Amino acid sequence: MNQFGRNFRVTIFGESHGPMVGVVLDGVKPGMELGEADFTEMLERRRGGLKPGTTPRKESDRPIFLSGLFEGKTTGAPLTIAFENKNTDSKSYLSQQEIPRPGHADFVANQKFNGFNDYRGGGHFSGRLTVALVAAGVVAQKQINLKENNKIDINAKIIELGGSADLEKAIEQAIAEQDSIGGIIECSVAHLPIGFGEPFFDSIESLISHAVFSIPAIKGIEFGSGFQSARMKGSENNDPLIDKYGKTATNHTGGISGGISNGNDLIFRVAVKPTSSTPQLQESLNMSNEKIETFSVSGRHDLCIALRVPPVLEAVTAIVLADLQWNI
Amino acid sequence: MNQFGRNFRVTIFGESHGPMVGVVLDGVKPGMELGEADFTEMLERRRGGLKPGTTPRKESDRPIFLSGLFEGKTTGAPLTIAFENKNTDSKSYLSQQEIPRPGHADFVANQKFNGFNDYRGGGHFSGRLTVALVAAGVVAQKQINLKENNKIDINAKIIELGGSADLEKAIEQAIAEQDSIGGIIECSVAHLPIGFGEPFFDSIESLISHAVFSIPAIKGIEFGSGFQSARMKGSENNDPLIDKYGKTATNHTGGISGGISNGNDLIFRVAVKPTSSTPQLQESLNMSNEKIETFSVSGRHDLCIALRVPPVLEAVTAIVLADLQWNI
Amino acid sequence: MNQFGRNFRVTIFGESHGPMVGVVLDGVKPGMELGEADFTEMLERRRGGLKPGTTPRKESDRPIFLSGLFEGKTTGAPLTIAFENKNTDSKSYLSQQEIPRPGHADFVANQKFNGFNDYRGGGHFSGRLTVALVAAGVVAQKQINLKENNKIDINAKIIELGGSADLEKAIEQAIAEQDSIGGIIECSVAHLPIGFGEPFFDSIESLISHAVFSIPAIKGIEFGSGFQSARMKGSENNDPLIDKYGKTATNHTGGISGGISNGNDLIFRVAVKPTSSTPQLQESLNMSNEKIETFSVSGRHDLCIALRVPPVLEAVTAIVLADLQWNI
Amino acid sequence: MNQFGRNFRVTIFGESHGPMVGVVLDGVKPGMELGEADFTEMLERRRGGLKPGTTPRKESDRPIFLSGLFEGKTTGAPLTIAFENKNTDSKSYLSQQEIPRPGHADFVANQKFNGFNDYRGGGHFSGRLTVALVAAGVVAQKQINLKENNKIDINAKIIELGGSADLEKAIEQAIAEQDSIGGIIECSVAHLPIGFGEPFFDSIESLISHAVFSIPAIKGIEFGSGFQSARMKGSENNDPLIDKYGKTATNHTGGISGGISNGNDLIFRVAVKPTSSTPQLQESLNMSNEKIETFSVSGRHDLCIALRVPPVLEAVTAIVLADLQWNI
């Protein structure tokens, strides 16, 4: 199901080359001021249209408010935000009907949906849908920060690209080699009050990872010291309390105890695989099961999709927090 | 909420030192033979009572069927399986009411539940609840393998302890140093048909990670090459198709394309942090905000909880697959 | 939340005088042929634009497919169907900001949404939203009838208007008296296989009544002999089996045993209250708490909303059946 | 699924002649005092063991707290309450394996669960499960009344039995005729604040009817003037506001406007069919499809199950209100 959340509920729809992609948000508080300008920065960061290494496809990405907004304020009714797909070019995708692209969902989509999936540009499986996630995240961020005296601050930044911490050089090299690269992104949430999350199935790690893996190309997530904790001793890894508000001397646990935010910064990192659509020659099979030796992706793609992930990561984090907020 | 799943629904309950822990399973197929013997192996592996490095607490861990079973077969009505907590010793936990244990949920539990949480042995936050997950997993494994001609085979094994791949030596060293250690566990699912999972929010990665992070002490998860993919090039990381059934030459993606099982082995790894209850001296604050210099955990605990995680990991994986099965 | 269903999930959005009302359908089977023509009859019946006693407001009510449809067939991705609100006239509604209309949701909407609700034409509370329900119902009806050898046939008809079984005369009288009237509608489902519904919370009565009461103006529902059963003896009310397929000699239970369809016609009746917007003079209070003696509704309204309910009732019934279908 | 609620979640389990019936409650507020005594009155009213016309089966019906309670107070973790089935007598039910009882779920249960259902005493389909609903209702009533300055008062009373408003005479006649009878019960909720419920699918009518039809033997529900409204004119049926707190001069709408509580008493009535297990001779078919002329029910049953419904109706009403409470 294309839906997340119990009390702040996000329903996404659309295809890469359909008329629109969008999101219906339910559980939005009434009376929040909201307009196109609120979305500009996050959408622009996601678009990455000007950065080297990102797709030349240009979408105006202007939010269209189909419902739930009245006189510039949210009404409390479902808030529907849509984005037109204007700048589509389906011709270069036609061959994937015959030849599933390596690393893409083409093959399984065809199998699961009995060949009826919209294959153009990946259809519903496209990263294009992340524009809807970002829009939801903008609203979620507003909603978790309605109280004046606290500002929950979500911040995602790239810390590694193509195995290197020199981000610019990594991109230059990818362009020079004409091969796609991945990256690692760290997301931190400051000023998060104690109490977000529940033990077990609604742990904050469970819900954030659930939402994060809905972002295409994510292949791993770790909280706090993560995989490194597995190599530490208990006496090193435990974070000693230093004040009665829950602050700890270290933060190996990434701000989460027993599935619940503990008053320290929430920290996690995700692994983004290299874009499947590399310009390099690839091998595949066509639908007649013949090996195709010199198949190459010709659509307009990102050499490094990781560049565009940070605002999406912030968005899904905000969505999770907005959903958990009712029970703190 | 203490619940997971839409069509195979798992509801867990209980506390470490309460009368019982258990699980209600809804969406169980009628007519499956089920008895105590089906649970023995998985429960025994979880108990780890005899292995060095695990808790000396001994639970008989015999499943009690409270509902949903008739004449040795499931009825299709809710299946309730409970386990008595016989062998409890609450005395050594009393002090944590005053002094939250480092690395544990004591502090946040107290804050979130306004001091009304059952603090004995961690109460509802205890790893004791994983016995309920394992019981659910036993039923789920039966249910996903009802078709005779295919056996979905879920297998979790420890691949690293305390940073070392020599598992025995790592345990010996932990015992010698009297400090807890963590580990890394790999889970693979063989013979999984194409089509489990959905794009975006119900991706198989989203649901597995959601379920996995409900296991206490897990701090990271990666699918396929995971964090290593982020350091590969697209031409290396893509898995070329080699037959019309979806088999690929490599399996960097861990058997998942576009959130959906692709016919190859599903592979993921998780990071387990070292047990918080290390025998080492620790620092904490008491509830009067005074620094406690020589606090030490005296309950009966595992030096290496990772030893007991593999069957729990298999269980939650089976739960996810049973829940996704309706739509393949 | 503006959502119904677990496996066939319906999310509605929109306001009476906003840009669009619509629905996102998730869990739609791929490969169903679908086009504007499939919706015409049901939408036309709902519009009732030509019948005496219905609103003179004319909407073209043409479905716009925003997602989930490709080359005339459903794709299995979320299917979004929207309807433009072209023919709106907000001026006559402005006064309800000041004077809540008797029988309408104006007062509680204002209270619940802190005055931020879109009040024009009832906003999100409008019967206009039923166009989205009807659209969902058209798709649901297709989906429950995919198997060629059985045609589940849902049929709602008015059996009483204004307390009279002479429907035409009742309308004529309402027009003559310039006062709105209600009615009773019976819905029957023929050829429904045994097994739709579950005991207790997901009983077919629970789910149908849940969906039915989401239609504005419905104030009662009864299954089979309903309130009349309460006056019968057990020996009269029980329906004796007459064949091994479950057919019964009588059908007092309305085709449902233990919450589950029993192979006989599913029968229920609903009570529709008279349209709140009667042309008669009414009393109310304004927001300054002053009694308003001669308040009259001047918007364009139906004298008898019951006339338009039958297709909506069929639609929500189909939605429920599509949602229950996975588990029969 | 045997579950109701989003934020106050009720999961029921058990069979008539299994070891236990019970309920898991999630979303329970921590710190509420709770003990066996809180349940006595409601359970006693449900048992009806001493009234003429009710079953001679005697259950001690003492709640056993399996989880979620510590030192006499709720902890905020799942609260599990179970009841032992001590006084069962399965012998008289054995024949229904062969001969489905008229008016019961025996036939459809056998069909839906492929013959694996526990048929003893109706198994999971038994009215015995309502003891779990009542237990949930006791907790729900506490939870909706945590605020000291308001007491939401839920009250259900029988207003008609066997078609007569003389309740005692109706019972006497049923006993004399040895035939079961039904009844009508009215439930009212006083002091309910404005704002419970949402427009459309989560309307208070939708959720109450959903919960109410999970009670066995209910065949109809109407809110306010209900079916009678359908025979009134708009000018009669509308309830004029008389003060700024939402009080209305009449209450035809039963305290609900646009699906939301409007500050007046919430009123609804339900129809309870006569007990299926009448002592009268009945006709049925056996599983070999042979007509059985002189089949008679010999289990211990209620001549008038309606007598025991009022506390169950209050319970499910409280459950719905507890679930809606988070969003007012």
What pLDDT score was predicted for residue C217? Answer: 96
Q: Which residues in D lie closer than 8 A to residue C242 (C-beta atoms)?
A: 285
- Between A1, A14, A75, which is nearest C124 by CB? A75
Q: Please state the separation of Cα C20 from the chain's center in Å.
A: 19
Average pLDDT over residues B122-144: 96
| Cα-only R_g, chain D | 21
Give me the DSSP letters along D151-196: --EEEEEEEEETTBS-HHHHHHHHHHHT--B-EEEEEEEESPPTT-
Burial D31-40 (b: 16+ CB within 10 A, else e): bbebeeebbe
DSSP string over C291-310: EEEEE---S---S-GGGGHH
pTM for the structure as a whole = 0.96
Dihedral angle sign, alpha carbons of residues A103, A107, A111, A116: positive
Q: What are the Cα distances from residue D17, in Å, to B22, B34, B305? A: 20, 19, 40
Give the mean model confidence (pLDDT) for residues D116-139: 95
Q: Do C77 and B199 touch (CB under 8 A)?
A: yes
Residue C54, pLDDT > 90, answer no
The rounded distance, in Å, linking the Cα atoms of D16 and D279 is 20
Which residues does B195 contact at the CB level (< 8 Å), separation at least 6?
A: A108, A111, A112, B260, B261, B327, B328
Note the pLDDT tens digit of each residue in B162-185.
999 999 999 999 999 999 999 999
How far the first Cα of chain B sits from its last, in Å, is 27
Distance of CA D208 to the CA centre of its chain: 11
DSSP string, D71-126: TTEE-SS-EEEEEE--S---GGGGGGGTSPPTTSSHHHHHHHTTT-S--GGGGGGS
Could you report the per-residue pLDDT of B201-238, keeping only the tens digit for each? Answer: 999 999 999 999 999 999 999 999 999 999 999 999 99
| Predicted confidence band of residue A289 (pLDDT cuts 50, 70, 90) | confident
Task: Report pLDDT for D48.
Answer: 75
Q: Is the dihedral of CA A95, A97, A101, A105 positive or negative?
A: positive
Q: Is the pLDDT of residue B294 over 60?
A: no
CB contact under 8 A, A11 and C24: yes
- Averaged pLDDT, D125-139: 97
What does the pLDDT read at residue C147?
86
The partner residue sitting opposite B326, judged by closest CB among C77, C199, C326, is: C326
Q: What is the CA radius of gyration of chain A?
A: 21
* B111 → chain D, closest CA residue: D30
pLDDT digits (tens, 9 = 90+) for B37-49: 999 999 999 987 5
* Chain D interface residues (partner B, CB cutoff 8 A): 1-3, 9, 11-15, 18-22, 24, 26-27, 30-31, 65-68, 70, 73-80, 82, 112-118, 123-124
What's the pLDDT at C274? 96
From the list C179, C211, C241, the residue facing D284 with the nearest CB is: C241
In the predicted structure, residue B94 carries a pLDDT above the cut 90: no
How far, rounded to the nearest angstrom, does the alpha carbon of residue C327 sit from its chain's CA centroid?
A: 24
pLDDT at position B133 is: 98
Mean pLDDT of B40-59: 76
Tokens of D158: 């029988």
Is the pLDDT reported for residue C111 higher than 80? yes
Task: Give residue-wise pLDDT tens across range A261-271.
Answer: 999 999 999 99
pLDDT tier at A296, thresholds 50, 70, 90: low
Q: How confident is the model over D190-218, as pLDDT tens digits?
A: 999 999 999 999 999 999 999 999 999 99
Pairing of strands D3-4, D69-70: unpaired
CA B199 to chain C, closest CA, distance in angstroms equals 9
How many CB pairs below 8 A link A and C? 158
CATH number, position A111: 3.60.150.10
Alpha-carbon span C327 to D14, nearest angstrom: 20
Rounded Cα gap, residues D109 and A59, in angstroms? 55
pLDDT tens profile A43-78: 999 987 556 666 665 657 999 999 999 999 999 999
Q: How far is CA B49 from the centre of its chain?
A: 17
| Token pair belonging to A291 | 């090996």
**All residues at 6 or more sequence positions from A271 whose CB lies less than 8 Å from its CB, including other chains:** A182, A184, A218, A219, A220, A221, B222, B226, B227, B228, B229, B230
Number of structural domains chain C divides into: 1
Return the number of other C-beta atoms located less than 10 Å from residue A86's C-beta: 11
The interface pTM score, or ipTM, of the predicted complex is: 0.95
pLDDT-derived band at D87, boundaries 50, 70, 90: low
d(Cα B149, Cα B164) in Å, to the nearest integer?
Answer: 39
Q: Indicate yes or no: CB of D24 within 8 angstroms of CB of B27.
A: no
Sign of the torsion angle spanned by Cα atoms B25, B31, B37, B38 = negative
The alpha carbon torsion through C191, C195, C200, C204 (nearest 10 deg) reads: -20
Residue D273, C-beta contacts closer than 8 angstroms, at least 6 positions apart:
C225, C229, C230, C232, C237, C252, C253, D103, D182, D217, D218, D219
* Residues C274, D236: Cα–Cα separation, whole Å: 9
Please, what is the average pLDDT of chain D? 92
Which chain D residues are within 8 Å of C261, Cβ to Cβ? Answer: 108
pLDDT tens per residue across span C8-18 = 999 999 999 99
Domain that holds residue B67: 3-327
Chain A: nearest CA to C208, how far in angstroms?
22
Nearest to A271 among B111, B199, B229 (CB): B229
Is the pLDDT score of A323 beyond 90?
Answer: yes
Alpha-carbon distances of B71 from B33, B74, B83, D123, rounded to whole Å = 9, 8, 20, 13
Percentage, residues of chain C above pLDDT 90: 79
Q: D300: how many CB neighbours lie within 10 A of its CB?
A: 15
Region A297-306 average pLDDT: 73
- Chain C interface disruption, residue of D134, D161, D241, D248, most C CBs within 10 A: D241
Quote the percentage of chain C above a pLDDT of 70.
91
Residues of chain A with Cβ-Cβ distance to B13 below 8 Å are none
Report pLDDT for A95: 66
